[in-house]
Structure 1
Amino acid sequence: MTVATEPGIAVVVVDDHAIMRQGLRSVLEREPDLRVVGEAGTPEQAIAAVATTRPDVVLLDLRLSPSSDDEGIGVCARLHTTYPDVAVLVLTTVIDDRLVLEAIHSGARGYVVKEVDPSELVRAIRAVSRGESAFDSRSAAAMVRSINAKPEVHEHRLTGREYEVLQLLARGFSNRTIGRQLFISETTAKFHVRNIMRKLQVGSRAEAVYLATKDGVI
């Protein structure tokens, strides 16, 4: 088995259109810290490519056939279960509140649409490779709508400050940006994020946002 061991962030691109894969490869390989180590056009090819290369990030389209807008959700869930250390970043034309939440529930660390600026896409790849979440403005808005749609507060859990941090997590902000927004240190922001994840019993920032949305915790 060949496993990527060279420096930089190893990326597998999964999209059913070869021209899109070639275009993404061209964009990403301009960055000195990014390497495209594999491509796939079907769910089966995606699983095989990740098994072979063990990348840091999988750039995943949700629409992997003309007949389905969400076939990538199953791929995401399978990758998350089999390779939990591999970060899945959804890159798709489909923007739907339900799909954004389902992708996160299935293990995606981020969700961006294909109209995103290349520099934003590169930042998102770097963010998810560090274990952070990444959303573009449209998917972040979908997350916030879902949060605001469930206003009841359950008896467990979050303090007022943690609620504020969770709102910013839903926008894909880093610990540093959360700190700036709330006028607290990056270390304090990181402490609050860890407490949120512990209280909600989840393993990632994106899962925390999903679970809070689903359960009406916030």
Structure 2
Amino acid sequence: MSEVPIVLVDDHAIVRQGLRAILEREGDLRVVGEASTAGEALTVVLRARPAVVLLDLKLSTGDDTEGLDLCSELTRRFPETGVLVLTTFLDDRLVVEAVQRGARGYVVKDVDTTELVRAIRAVARRESAFDSRSAAAMVRSVCSAPARPALTDRELRVTRLLAHGLSNRDIGGALYISETTVKFHVRNILRKLQVGTRAEAVYEASKLGLI
């Protein structure tokens, strides 16, 4: 693999120094920048355009997950750069949310050097990278995730029209069905989404990615 430029984002200078010393023993890894805050990180990444950002989730004493917001911003502004979370936190929710915010990998700080280097190289190749514990967290979250409600195609179309604020009569006109039939579909939608109002149905459907 060609040289992998890396930016280190951690609020502790001694941690960044240690990581730099470890990573630069590898012939293909080169630290091209460091940052201790979200603002510094955005500036450094804009200038250095690294292949990988090694990101801690805790960047201040007041917020344990400031790094999540930074992860979102980095992946939005620099999609060509892979974010690898390196943190002391191992929490199923954090692992999943980091991935949802665009991180390509998640490893815990006590991971051994060989596994960390392997993860960095994988992220540079645009692959996913997790240590064994964060991978297990992802599996647990997938297995425990509630099943998406099985709305029929017609119910999905009704839900999308509900999201546009249409009345039962207007929905019926748009779908060429009677108002009574629309009411039937709406009742089924509310039941399947386990909500009590049309607005709640739209909100729940949006959260589930149905609309």
Same fold per superposition (TM over 0.5): yes
Which one of the candidate residues 46, 56, 64 is aligned to 1:51?
Answer: 46
Determine the C-alpha separation between the residues in 1 that align with 2:82 and 2:90.
Answer: 20
Deviation of 1:67 after TM superposition, in Å, equals: 1.3
What secondary structure, in the 3-state scheme, does the structure 1 residue paired with 2:27 have?
coil
TM-score of the aligned structures, taking structure 2 as reference length:
0.69
What secondary structure, in the 3-state scheme, does the structure 2 residue paired with 1:144 have?
helix
Match of 1:36 in 2: 31
Match of 1:98 in 2: 93
Match of 1:186 in 2: none
Match of 1:179 in 2: none
Q: Quick check: 2:148–2:208 contact (8 Å CA) kept in 1?
A: no
What residue identity is the alignment partner of 1:82? Answer: R
Say if 1:37 and 1:147 are closer, same or farther in 2 by CA, change over 3 A.
same
1:62 is the counterpart of 2:81: no
Which one of the candidate residues 107, 110, 117 is aligned to 2:105?
Answer: 110
Deviation of 1:215 after TM superposition, in Å, equals: 5.3
Deviation of 1:152 after TM superposition, in Å, equals: 3.3
What residue identity is the alignment partner of 2:45? Answer: V
1:9 is the counterpart of 2:12: no
1:125 is the counterpart of 2:120: yes
After the TM superposition, list the runs of 4 or more consecutive aligned residues in structure 1 that deviate by more than 3 angstroms: 151-156
Alignment of 1:1-218 (within 5 A): 7-150=2-145, 152=147
What residue identity is the alignment partner of 1:96? Answer: D
Determine the C-alpha separation between the residues in 1 that align with 2:138 and 2:208.
Answer: 14
Choose 65-74 or 52-61, whichever is displaced more: 65-74
Deviation of 1:155 after TM superposition, in Å, equals: 6.3
Determine the C-alpha separation between the residues in 2 that align with 1:26 and 1:15.
Answer: 15
What residue identity is the alignment partner of 2:77? Answer: T
What secondary structure, in the 3-state scheme, does the structure 2 residue paired with 1:88 have?
strand
Determine the C-alpha separation between the residues in 1 that align with 2:50 and 2:107.
Answer: 19
Q: How many residues align?
A: 154
Query: What percentage of aligned pairs have identical amino acids?
Result: 61
Structure 1 unaligned residues grouped into runs of 5+: 1-6, 157-213
